[in-house]
Structure 1
Amino acid sequence: MSKKKEITIYDLADSLNISVATVSRALKDDPVVSKKTRKKIFELAEKMGYRANHFARNLRVRETNTIGFMIHELKSNFSNAVLSGVEKIATEAGYDLIIAHSAERYEKEVANARNLFNKRVDGIIASLAFDTRNYDHFKWFSDKGVPVVFFDRVERVRGNTVVVIDNYRCGYEATRHLIEQGCRRIAHVTSNLARNVYTDRFKGYRAALDEAGLAFEDHLVMVDNLSENAGISSAEKILGMQPMPDGAFITNDFVAAAFIKTLKENQVAVPGDIAVVGFNNDAIAHLIEPSLTTVNYPGIEMGEVAARALINHLKGASDIRQIDTVIINSGLIVRRSSLKKKPLIGLGKK
């Protein structure tokens, strides 16, 4: 793919029939230029795809040897594991990382994308925020021939390269495991079903119920964020149900830990009264009591694979446009929180 010509301040000045000096001052937000003129210049700059040149001293060099890493949050073990994998591969290849954290907000994700665009990163590795509504901010990069690799929370559109686990299969296996333990009314605690990871896990959950001939009940699906409060509130809802569910598939280990703690505080036995399966294999999964059955989510491997695919493309060793989807292996880790039936000796000590 040939790269489009870089838009310069001369192009902006010509289009608006004003001086280059005025454009330059406006782009630096100099109050010498009127607000009306600055607004007009900024709008045209965005429309034409202008990028502020933070590397003016190296104009003859096309690459900056930097990669943008866009992440929705940095508080989870999974996110940090992915970052660790990306950093390892990038460092070995001589690339620096610029980390941009959206805090689960679309507006901040767009601002981060604009900042990385202006910093002229050579490529992007990105996971979407909860409420990302459209993807125009990634088109800025594709229009300039800058490759983007999405991981975890992705949007499957033509031309995207995505690195994911099989969330459908994982949701199915987690629910089937609960069914095999004798559970017949299984709650599902999840998050924004507009995001691929949660909708695919939900579909797997439903498929396992259908296969077992179990009824799907709308009120057993609880959609919330991934906070401690979400675990507490979902447990409180379940405590008020008659009859109470005998199983729960929760798409985040931290939420599952808060869920279990709340149930135990209300004299509900786990797994005796309700069996619980989490997701991610975070450190908390084997620290809580009982230890948490969960789905392993190999974040380091995901980061390494995403970074390697991007850097191989940048170095001309492969063409990322020929890679659609990379699926990372994952699977269920059975511990004591889900075992209504007698466990095998030594199980759950991982």
Structure 2
Amino acid sequence: MEVKKEVTIYDLAKTLNYSPSTISRALNNHKSISKKTIKLVKETAEKVGYRPNNLAAGLRNNKSKTIGILVPHLNRPFVSTLISGIEESARKAGYNVLISQSYDEAEIEIANARTLYDSRVSGLIVSLAMQTELYDHFKQFTDQGIPIVFVDRVPKTYNSYKVIIDNYTAGYKATKHLIQGGCKRIAHFAGSQHRNVYEDRKKGYVDALKEHNLPIDESLIIPFKTLSFEEGEKATKKLLKMEQPPDAIFSANDTAAVSAILCAKKMGFSVPEDLAIIGFNDDPISKIVEPALSTISHPALKMGKISAKRILEHEQKEQDDLLTEVSVLNTEVIARASTRPIN
């Protein structure tokens, strides 16, 4: 089968008897071109199947009108909602997105960052991999003045724009909710402590216990690698086989919390009478599990929109300085049937 030749601006120029530069300016809505000409050029371009070569344009001016997105896992509800927010804002501004996932591995994140850099993205939005502890692979962007927005999982030391929630207060609220329901021996499913989100949630948990004169029992704080369903089940079995099992669990995500509900029920424990459980993120599964999971709201869509907005603002203002502001969003307890009524 014969491959059809790609239509170029030179073909459009020949068809319409305009110069290639006029065609280019018309396609980009340049103010020097009349609305009538712009309409004619665009209608002709659509008719003959012309496609703009964004990559070539990016090579010429080092701006591809593309935002790179680098996240841990695409199949996590929080991440997919975050990306939706980014895409919505980018699309309205005429930008595309390139998405890659690190699978929570530092080496993959480093390789993907290089690929996005080589693609000449206009800006980068990153939620860090669980394993990432060094940030040298982002220097290639900042050295070239390419803005980076870290979102949710952010570095402690890297000087860049950040969009986060108040994880400390969220962890405190979750733990206090369990305490107000009469729980006194509260376990915590803790994510990797070099990640800001999990470190701060644990600090909130610890301070809530202290404030209410409850002991800090290290045997009830379970470290996790990825807060997976399997890890949640394993940790719940371990806790409920203790001589003094906990009467509540605060999980740093919903996935492990849901596995805790299912495991506890399988072992003959009643939720929330024997074991109250609260998660984090308000994933769709939290509403489906029985009993429905109490959780902490996580404004993923808004975080995505703000992240994209910061990149676009940087582009439109053609700033020389990189973004360094931190946006902190609030969260709320969503009380459902997996926790006890507040006393």
Q: In 2, Cα distance between the equivalents of 1:171 and 1:117?
A: 35
Give 1:341 deviation, angstroms.
5.3
SS in 2 for 1:214: coil
**Who is 2:309 aligned against?**
308
Q: In 1, Cα distance between the equivalents of 2:110 and 2:257?
A: 31
Give 1:59 deviation, angstroms.
4.3
SS in 1 for 2:60: coil
Q: In 2, Cα distance between the equivalents of 1:75 and 1:101?
A: 10
User: Are 1:330 and 2:340 counterparts?
Assistant: no
- Does the CA-based 8 Å contact 1:293-1:334 persist in structure 2? yes
**Who is 1:276 aligned against?**
277
Q: In 1, Cα distance between the equivalents of 2:171 and 2:58?
A: 49
Q: In 1, Cα distance between the equivalents of 2:311 and 2:83?
A: 14
Give 1:133 deviation, angstroms.
2.2
**Who is 2:99 aligned against?**
99
Q: In 2, Cα distance between the equivalents of 1:79 and 1:289?
A: 24
Give 1:55 deviation, angstroms.
4.5
Q: In 2, Cα distance between the equivalents of 1:83 and 1:60?
A: 28
User: Are 1:230 and 2:231 counterparts?
Assistant: yes
Residues 252-291 of structure 1: pairs in structure 2 closer than 5 A: 252-291=253-292
Give 1:336 deviation, angstroms.
1.2
**Per-residue CA shift, 1:167-219, capped at 9, x if unaligned?**
00000000011111111110001211110000000000000011011110111
- Does the CA-based 8 Å contact 1:310-1:320 persist in structure 2? no
Q: In 2, Cα distance between the equivalents of 1:178 and 1:317?
A: 49
- Does the CA-based 8 Å contact 2:122-2:147 persist in structure 1? yes
SS in 2 for 1:337: coil
Give 1:267 deviation, angstroms.
0.9
**Per-residue CA shift, 1:70-89, capped at 9, x if unaligned?**
00111111000000000000
**Who is 1:339 aligned against?**
340
SS in 2 for 1:306: helix
Give 1:266 deviation, angstroms.
1.0
Give 1:321 deviation, angstroms.
3.8
Q: In 2, Cα distance between the equivalents of 1:247 and 1:327?
A: 28
**Who is 1:163 aligned against?**
163
Q: In 1, Cα distance between the equivalents of 2:74 and 2:160?
A: 24
Q: In 2, Cα distance between the equivalents of 1:174 and 1:190?
A: 13
Length-normalised TM-score, structure 1: 0.79
Q: In 1, Cα distance between the equivalents of 2:342 and 2:200?
A: 28
- Does the CA-based 8 Å contact 1:271-1:340 persist in structure 2? no
Structure 2: gaps of 5 or more residues: 1-53
User: Are 1:84 and 2:84 counterparts?
Assistant: yes
**Per-residue CA shift, 1:148-181, capped at 9, x if unaligned?**
0000100132521110000000000000111111
**Who is 2:133 aligned against?**
133
- Does the CA-based 8 Å contact 2:145-2:322 persist in structure 1? no
- Does the CA-based 8 Å contact 1:161-1:320 persist in structure 2? no
Residues 1-350 of structure 1: pairs in structure 2 closer than 5 A: 55=55, 59-157=59-157, 159-224=159-224, 225-316=226-317, 321=322, 323-339=324-340
SS in 2 for 1:168: helix
Give 1:116 deviation, angstroms.
0.9
SS in 1 for 2:200: helix
Q: In 1, Cα distance between the equivalents of 2:338 and 2:321?
A: 41
Q: In 1, Cα distance between the equivalents of 2:95 and 2:123?
A: 10
Query: Structure 1 stretch 332-341 or stretch 94-103: which is displaced more?
Result: 332-341
Gap change, CA 1:140 and 1:318, over 3 Å in 2: closer
Q: In 2, Cα distance between the equivalents of 1:303 and 1:341?
A: 33
Gap change, CA 1:313 and 1:325, over 3 Å in 2: same
- Does the CA-based 8 Å contact 1:72-1:101 persist in structure 2? yes
Give the AA of the match of 1:324. Answer: E
Q: How many residues align?
A: 289
Q: In 1, Cα distance between the equivalents of 2:320 and 2:140?
A: 20
Give the AA of the match of 2:166. Answer: D
Q: In 2, Cα distance between the equivalents of 1:273 and 1:141?
A: 51
- Does the CA-based 8 Å contact 1:70-1:102 persist in structure 2? yes
Give 1:326 deviation, angstroms.
0.2
**Per-residue CA shift, 1:3-42, capped at 9, x if unaligned?**
xxxxxxxxxxxxxxxxxxxxxxxxxxxxxxxxxxxxxxxx
Gap change, CA 1:63 and 1:102, over 3 Å in 2: same
**Per-residue CA shift, 1:121-141, capped at 9, x if unaligned?**
111000100111210000110
Q: CA RMSD in A?
A: 1.7
Report percent identity of matched pairs: 40
**Per-residue CA shift, 1:223-268, capped at 9, x if unaligned?**
1122111111011011111211111100111111111101001110
- Does the CA-based 8 Å contact 1:231-1:258 persist in structure 2? yes
Give 1:329 deviation, angstroms.
2.2
Q: In 2, Cα distance between the equivalents of 1:275 and 1:116?
A: 44
Give the AA of the match of 2:222. Answer: M
